[in-house]
Structure 1
């Protein structure tokens, strides 16, 4: 999907229609996209993002706030999800677009990357938000503070390193670099119905194609 063209359509629809009309129109756009791709896709349907009406979310609670936006936890269909709102997203800020595009490209490969389920819009504030996978175990920094004395090399540490390296390999295979890689952006997905849990890399809002030139001499990974 050409994300730039899609967002441009959203902005043009936004100017002329009510929230209910926007929801139905954008949902139709996503459905047309899914239908057009159905002949090409086999088990890849989970890679397709969707427009999700804001009314589907309940128990919305702010859990973090940073320089680029606000993170909320919410419930949809009895499952926890994350809503990520960027500052000035009414104008579809470059961080919003960047995270959407880079995540979609990386998820083509699919190893150990936080998934974006879709896009929504806060009808009161007019902000667009990413609807993302919820990692119930928190981030690596906090997890190590709590569990460092109990983890061993022959089990947890090697698995953590392996899964993080898989996530970085996914980003690099998609020809991106993360540019904001630290323990706070490595998230633990506690899947209680599976034997092994997952460490996932998130927050691709600052990522960029690897062949882009940088205006400084910093080293990124």
Structure 2
């Protein structure tokens, strides 16, 4: 049974704050180390995995991480110590306060090449250190790479975590072979026979880069091997990806290990622009050539404004819940048509916008932005629109007072559609932009309804 919030370990030295994650092998907790007043991660073996083999494996991971931490490589998670609490073995590690690549891509979509490649290079450099001490990580997928941001919110550092299935290059016994790895980021030879060659990490890190720059998981290596399903080149998904990066990814994810770069160093070299090799000596200049010509160094290729803009629009088009927004648009077209047909007053139009937007968001958000906009418009002398938003505020408060159920019985389809659209938008945008999108869609739909009514009236 997992430990609960507030539970003390080692006589009060550590206090559990919450569970960070659970797997088939162990449980990780966020905890406070009381004496040093610092947040740490405590990784434990599950109670049902406390046999001699699992304990031995857990201790090996502790020693592996502790040894690597002593090298003070800033892109490898730091291990502080390990201890035993009752029958449970615990590993105390640095708490990395960032987001893993899975979460970043889920929130932002495909990441720009210029942003993610330097971060992947940092993890590659960490793996080089790992490989030099004879350890293969074998699980360098997006969930095990944490991205940390600077004061301006830009990601500037990556940290490699979780060495749970890391192994020595040469196994101690045949029974120590472990075949686990993330199915979309592990090469088939690792899944088949637990390969521990450096090319396993080359494949996993390359597949992680594929996911980061495309926003899509690569084709499973087993499906490529057994069903002959080809790997889609990343440039076909995001055309703005450079040819050099496209080739580096395809080479690093070659299906057969022999066709990949045989080391992380060799693969990282493919991510760097080619530079001319300097001659071993300076050629002798003729006597009359006294003035040196300035050497012109071509600037590094930077993505154009058009490329950045096209990537942003592509990401926006991909993350927008278009199906639900079209549903909102048609519902409001119908409502607008009815409001014109029955000659509804201005406050009726205000209610039409305020009720569902309030429903999909929170009443507080609707009130705040409605009041702010009303004040701005009042300053411009738009009196009738001020009254419109005043009604929006009243309705927003009414929704919070009466509750959503009463309105749900009246307009379930409308509310359900707007609610789902709001929930989908909130996965990629904050409350303010979600509010703006819903207001724009509903007002645009009302306008279309008015236009359709006039066209139909004019035709008849």
Asked whether the equivalents of residues 141 and 184 of structure 1 are also in contact (C-alpha less than 8 Å), the reply is: yes
Q: For structure 1, which segment, 100-109 or 89-98, has the greater mean C-alpha deviation from structure 2 after superposition?
A: 89-98
Q: Could you tell me which residue of structure 2 aligns to residue 104 of structure 1?
A: 66
Paired residues for 1:1-221 under 5 Å? 53=10, 55-76=12-33, 77-87=36-46, 88-89=49-50, 93-111=55-73, 112-123=75-86, 126-149=87-110, 151-154=111-114, 156-190=115-149, 197-212=156-171, 217-219=193-195, 220-221=200-201
Shift of 1:129: 0.6
- Could you tell me how far apart the structure 1 residues matched to 2:60 and 2:151 are? 32
Shift of 1:93: 0.8
Task: Name the counterpart of 1:7.
Answer: none
**Per-residue deviation at 1:196?**
6.9
Contact 1:185 1:203 in 2 (8 A): yes
CA contact (8 A) 1:164 1:200 kept: yes
Contact 1:73–1:82 (Cα < 8 Å) also in 2: yes
Tell me by how many angstroms 1:135 deviates: 1.2
CA distance in 1 between partners of 2:72 and 2:28 (Å): 23
Distance 1:217-1:116 versus aligned 2 partners, 3 A rule: same
**Separation of aligned partners in 2, 1:191 and 1:133:** 18
Is the CA contact (8 Å cut-off) linking 1:139 and 1:188 kept in structure 2?
Answer: yes
TM-score, length of structure 2 as denominator length: 0.33
Q: Residue 27 of structure 2: SS of its match in structure 1?
A: strand
Which one has the bigger helix percentage?
2
Aligned to 2:376: none
- In structure 1, stretches of 5+ residues that fail to align are 1-51
1:197: how far off? 4.1
Task: Please say if residues 110 and 170 of structure 1, whose CA atoms lie closer than 8 Å, have aligned partners that are also in contact.
Answer: no
Correspondence for 2:309? none
RCO greater where, 1 or 2, for CA within 8 Å and sep 6 or more?
Answer: 1
The alignment yields a C-alpha RMSD, in angstroms, of 3.0
Contact 1:83 1:129 in 2 (8 A): yes
- Residue 199 of structure 1: CA displacement? 1.1
| Whole-angstrom CA distance in 2 between matches of 1:167 and 1:137 | 18
Contact preservation (8 Å) 2:43, 2:90: yes
Long gaps (5+) in structure 2: 1-8, 178-191, 202-460
* Higher Cα radius of gyration: 2
Deviation at 1:136, TM superposition (A): 1.2
Once residues 128 and 182 of structure 1 are traced to their aligned partners in structure 2, the CA distance between those partners, rounded to angstroms, is 26
Superposed CA deviations along residues 61-112 of structure 1, whole A, max 9, x for unmatched, are 1121100011100112332210100134585712311211211232343331
